[in-house]
Structure 1
Amino acid sequence: MHLNQLPERAREVVEYRKSGLSLNHIQGCPLDCAYCVRHTYGLWDQRQPRALMTDAQAVDELVKHRYFRPNVTPIQLFNRATEPFLPKVRPHTFAVLEELDARDLTNHVLVITRHQLNQYDADRLNQLRHIKVTLLFTYSGIDRPEIEPYPSKVAAESLKLMSAPRLRNYRTILYWRPLVPGLNDTDEHLADARDLSEYADATVFTGLFYRDQIAQYYRSNGIPEPYALTARRKIVPEALEARVLAAFPNTVALFRKTSCAVSYVHGLPDYNGHYGIRELCDICPLSQLELCRAAHRVPTAVEVHDVASVLPEAADLKVVDITERAAVVSGLETEQPRYFLQHSLGFQVHDERHPHHEKRHGRADIGWTEKPA
């Protein structure tokens, strides 16, 4: 497969997403989860994993990218276009991880999977010495094959296996998603997830990323639409969140945000700087709150501009406001430079066009009854 054959959005092998700089030089996945983000990149029909370049070329492109900062920028591996532990993809996953590690980098590396892992995987991951690897096991408990053909029980068993070693250099997270009212939110579903969380180093819960392309796929295939509207953010209705929190005991390390959980399991403050949005933190372990509090520093407008000065696409950046919660900016055409600013500063950076409403936790307004503040 050649880059020029791909839809325009899919050609960007290195792309910034909120939880990290995403490397996707292997594209194509046969697992066919109906809600997959591949729909939004025009990659849904690419079911066989194919390499767009060698692993060495891909790592080189990543570390030379204008957004990459050694030992700072969080990295996501194959989280947009394939499953990292498919038999054909697994060798590429390890090649990238080992190349990054050989460079003595200490960046976070997030690997999101729902596939079957084995003892060989654990042993090989344990040989990594520098990068901070986190395995996020996508688990939903959805038992409808038209929505999720590859069963969640596989991810559950992989999580248990990979979490079992007492001494390990990687960390494990139960990535409980997507939670959808009426589909996988019964008391039994919640209890199953709670039980499974006991095996993981931490748990993150989140909702459905329901974009127009995904809604169109649902309609075309006769799958009942979970919501009447689509949204640019993930949907977690207020009542669903309340039931999740009620189902989990205080002893479980439960988080609303991926970066919070990833940072926690490595004993570090949140690299996305969520601490200023205090209603996000009301479920965090006290030890993590203290770490994040100590690291929390509100930047000045001059500092925001200084960090942005290395990016040509941030030439029109304006700092609209800075509070304890976030820096609000305008003048950025896309999300990617905003993520660069956020990770460089360790502080929330919001776009004026897309305000974060109080208690929504950066999610869609769908399913919330209170009028946004």
Structure 2
Amino acid sequence: MDKNVTIIDATQLSQVNPSLRDPVEYRKSGLSLNHIVGCPLDCSYCVRHLFGNFDQRKPQALMTDEQAFEQFISHRYFQPHITPIQLFNRATDPMLPEVKPHTHNLLRLLDLAGLTNNVLVITRWRVTSEDCKRFNALKNIKLTILVTYSGIDDPKVEPIKSSIAVNSLRLLFKHAQRYRTVLYWRPIVPGLNDSDQHIARAAQLAKHAHATVFSGLFYRKEIAQHYQSQGIPEPYTSTARRKLLPLEEEQRLLRIYQSQAPDTPIFRKTSCGVAYAHQQPDYNGHFGITELCSTCPSAQYSTCKTAWKKPDETLLSNLCRSLGAEGEPVITDRSIIVRGLDEQRRYFMQHTLGYQVHDADKPHHYDRHGRAEAQRNIL
């Protein structure tokens, strides 16, 4: 282990939020490994609020990299060459100086294992030429570095200057050979960073990326409580399970972006941007959700269309039964609809079949895939 990140002792471990003690968890774009917890960047909207560790600013490790790697590849939901992988995207930033050695070590371990899985590293921190050299040395995994950029100027909302992400993105794109770089434009909040000027700056920055992915604000009650405690104006009147971005805002954003950066495709979904960057089908099977494809280049659309097919009903039925689903699944032209499966099992099924899997009790309505229903803006 790097000397800058210590392994916490049993007493400290008992104080860690129970949801963080297991370092392996499925998230939307892949199976996520997070055995280092703690981040000093203090972004007000950080998902760490949900795990009760926002005030833990010093990164600490739950175990060694090697132990985490073995636990990850032996996880019940990990499938070699299939499961998309995410590193340190829940409780720290993978490119922090004390975390970065572990990021490179895990990439090395995954690569030496001969795995060809997609691997996503999401950062808003500093990347160096030496980092790029090490990324390019990887031979097997399909690596994507997603650089989080918002253009938010308010230090109460985002203390870290967006110029850091800008510099990292430019450097990554300049040196990219075996890896790909995505501009992760988020969170976009009406009235805060969605002016014509903000969009124009993002469009110019997109020319230094292989693809752009954008999204709204993930605004849960824990984040809203932090906003209230810090006197930060609340951007919406209510919280939501899914990300918030009003439809009319999205349409205006796309119109301005595409007029200024027509050669850098923009996507609503992370896996779509990653798939385009690597010239492969979308591993999340979004092709059936046709309205998501409106910004997709024709060549990529054809790639996804060729690979996308309804699953065999017997195979699907057996898979649902083995995972503990209630009743029989319903297959539509858009998705598989199941009942009784949590996100972990639905994502496992989704990546196994390359077809969207939705919860019958949390329906996805047309043109609202991943978009929260409560949209009212109070800025």
TM-score (norm 2): 0.94
Helix, strand or coil: the match of 1:175? strand
Asked if the contact 1:319/1:327 (under 8 Å) is kept, the reply is no
The 2-side partners of 1:77 and 1:153 are apart by: 23
Q: Does 1:72 align with 2:82?
A: yes
1:21 aligns with 2:31: yes
Match of 2:368 among 339, 345, 360: 360
Counterpart selection for 1:33 from 27, 34, 43 = 43
Instruction: Name the counterpart of 1:293.
Output: 305
Say which SS state the counterpart of residue 227 (structure 1) adopts. coil
How far apart are 1:215 and its partner, in Å?
Answer: 0.3
Q: Deviations over 1:328-362 (max 9, x none)?
A: 00012x21100000011000000011110101122
Query: Which of 178, 186, 210 is matched with 1:177 structurally?
Result: 186
Q: Which residue of 2 aligns with 1:158?
A: 168
Contact conserved, 1:300 with 1:322, CA < 8 A, in 2?
Answer: no
Residue 270 (structure 2) aligned to one of 258, 261, 269: 258
1:50 deviation in Å?
Answer: 0.3
**Corresponding residue for 1:119?**
129
AA matched with 2:205: L
User: Equivalents in 1 of 2:309, 2:263: separation in Å?
Assistant: 29
Partner of 2:3: none
Name stretches of at least 5 consecutive residues in structure 2 with no aligned partner: 1-7
| Secondary structure of 2:215's aligned partner | strand
Matched, 1:307 2:316: no
Matched, 1:46 2:56: yes
CA RMSD, Structure 1 to Structure 2 (Å): 1.4
Q: Could you tell me which amino acid in structure 2 is paired with residue 337 of structure 1? A: R
Compute the displacement of 1:263 (Å). Answer: 1.0
| Alpha-carbon separation, structure 1, partners of 2:103 and 2:320 | 31
- Structure 1 SS opposite 2:183: strand
**Other-structure match for 1:137:** 147
Q: Distance in 2 between matches of 1:38 and 1:215?
A: 13
CA contact (8 A) 2:116 2:141 kept: yes
SS in 2 for 1:204: strand
Aligned to 2:158: 148
User: Residues 242, 368 of structure 1: CA spacing in aligned structure 2 closer, same or farther, 3 A cutoff?
Assistant: farther
CA contact (8 A) 2:210 2:264 kept: no
User: C-alpha distance in 1, partners of 2:325/2:280?
Assistant: 33
Aligned identity (percent) is 54
Correspondence 1:234 to 2:243 = yes
Q: Structure 1 length as normaliser, TM-score?
A: 0.95
Structure 1 residues 292-351: Cα deviation after superposition (integer angstroms, max 9, x where no partner) = 0001111144222333455xxx2234334211100000012x211000000110000000
Contact 2:237 2:376 in 1 (8 A): no
Question: Does the aligned pair in 2 maintain the 1:10–1:42 contact within 8 Å?
Answer: no
Distance in 1 separating the partners of 2:81 and 2:280 = 13
Number of residue pairs the alignment of both structures matches:
364
Matched with 2:72 is 62
- Among 330, 334, 337, the residue aligned to 1:321: 330
Following the alignment from structure 2 to structure 1, what is the Cα–Cα distance between the partners of residues 243 and 22?
Answer: 23
1:40, 1:214 within 8 Å by CA — same for their partners in 2?
Answer: yes
Give the aligned residue type for 1:253.
P
